[in-house]
Structure 1
Amino acid sequence: MAIRLDLRQLSDQVVWFDAASSNAGIEAWQMRLLLMKLGIEVRDSQVSIVEHDDHTSQVQPRPEFTFDVAYAYHCFQSRVSYFTNGFLDPDFHKILSGLDHGVQEKALLAFHPSLKSGDMVDRFHEYINDEWTTLKELSLKREDVVYKVVVTPTRVLFRPPESAPSNRVFRHFGAQNFMYVYFRDENLDRLEYSNVEIVKRLRSVMTRGIYVDNVVDGPCLFQFLGSSLSQMRNSSCVFTSLDPNVVRSWVGDLSAIHSPAKYLKRLSQAFSSTKPAFHKIWSLISSMADLSSQTAAVK
């Protein structure tokens, strides 16, 4: 027996019930009311129980890809979760594994589901057959993209990579090692922070980071790096897959700044859009001692 949950309705520290189930007895409803009286957030979800043959393996192998394809895979899941309840059929992974590496990423990023009838796997298969030539010829420029994620109170939505702005941090470390994270409401409007549970949810993301799973070498963790004052007003910030302390140290020695607002303002200056002028050759640069007068009265 396999139990499938509606992942769109699940959240941290939330009890969920299948209110629409014909098997929901009076005990379940009484428990639901009791939890609500205790102040516990209760959400209605959907549970479907599917019977399987005892001789059929219940554990499906976890798909693994290179990071580029894994990120595109998460973007695909974010787009089609409304139609699939967060579960992709094993036949979908068979179709995906039969594609070339380059076509895998492009197909996952380019496919957009529609409301027309039909199975999602069949529609994806039709899309591959119709757009195969275009996908083969389509070119993705990898080095100048930055990743984008939208965090809501109940979901983490991966968005396709975007063209990265030119700044000295991205030029030095590579824009592909950074991620723009936006905090939004479920309808993607501006998020209100009046609810304590929402604040806890956001703090959890800020401290734990965001994982990109299904990577061959293991999950890739993006951690909070910083945020400019304008990004704070827009409820957004920058995450990085590198060591955040290494990036901050490269920006400059900010240990003497104790004000959080001033620290973020100084750190964000490194992310200001700039154009490259010339590449410094450090071997041609030397440091000289300060010049001073013989009386040492004037320096």
Structure 2
Amino acid sequence: MQVTETLAEGLKREIKVVVPAKDMEQRMNERLAEVKDKVRINGFRPGKVPVAHVKKMYGKSIMAELVNEIIRDKPSAILSERGEKSATQPEIVMTEDEKEAEKILSAQADLEFTLSYEIIPAIELKSVDGIKVTREVVDVSDEEINEQIEKIAESARTFETKKGKAAEGDRVTMDYLGKVDGEAFDGGKDEDAELVIGSNRFIPGFEDQLVGVKAGDEKVITVTFPADYPAANLAGKEATFDITVKEVASPAKTEINDELATKLGVESVEKLKEIVRGQIESQYGNVTRQKVKRQILDQLDALYKFESPSKLVDAEFENI
């Protein structure tokens, strides 16, 4: 087997590997000798099949196995012998011509392939004594904790029926029927549907037109489906909704107490505040850790200068 370096430019390496046809044939004959006594062929007693006949029947398939084994195992062996580490999976190129491949499998031509890769550059470790970082500490205030609890409490918020007109934040209970070009469409009908104005759960413009309605009102709302709406038959089209308002309810005032804590599955308001404080501190901790990491990386970047394998950079770019 001949291993020849054909390119050594910066981090790039290219190796040409040639396995002579006679070596491939010898390996094939050795493999044939191993399987000769195991094959079962009609007309021959076990272990009495002539090698020439076994070669005729199985020679090419065994040769194909040998080629695959060499392509699979030799690159890592070559790198190990050269004392190199490839930054990414080495690229292997061999003939794609059917006639040439046929000659290789028939042991009439040498097996040739090229191995292309980029090595990981040698990096000399330097002292980190000069690296300094600042870890910020955040004091979580009671106001911030209460504000976060109020946001969480929205999931357990109760509503009280009101007689007046619906305003931002109110919940409207209604029946509706959606139409496009005067025809009702699938999924455009519901009864006793509840919608909080300002939640942005419905099509843009729908909730805005509910402001001012009251129980018993009937109204036609006109909206346009977004161009990128998932249902292709509705995307970009104008639609009307026949609305019958059944109830308007305003949100009850949220009080941070044991009752609220119980609704949220916690035994007391103090325990709830403790949990929320921990969550906020954890969020700040993630941010400050990232800032510390950036400080370290910036200083390491100034400390180390070396060529980066282009394929490794490209792979990282694609991941990002």
Tell me which of the two structures has the higher relative contact order, counting C-alpha pairs closer than 8 angstroms and 6 or more residues apart: 2
Larger Rg: 2
TM over 0.5: no
Q: Give the TM-score category using the shorter length.
A: under 0.3
Q: TM-score when scaled to structure 1?
A: 0.19
Q: TM-score when scaled to structure 2?
A: 0.18
Instruction: Identify the structure with the greater strand proportion.
Output: 2
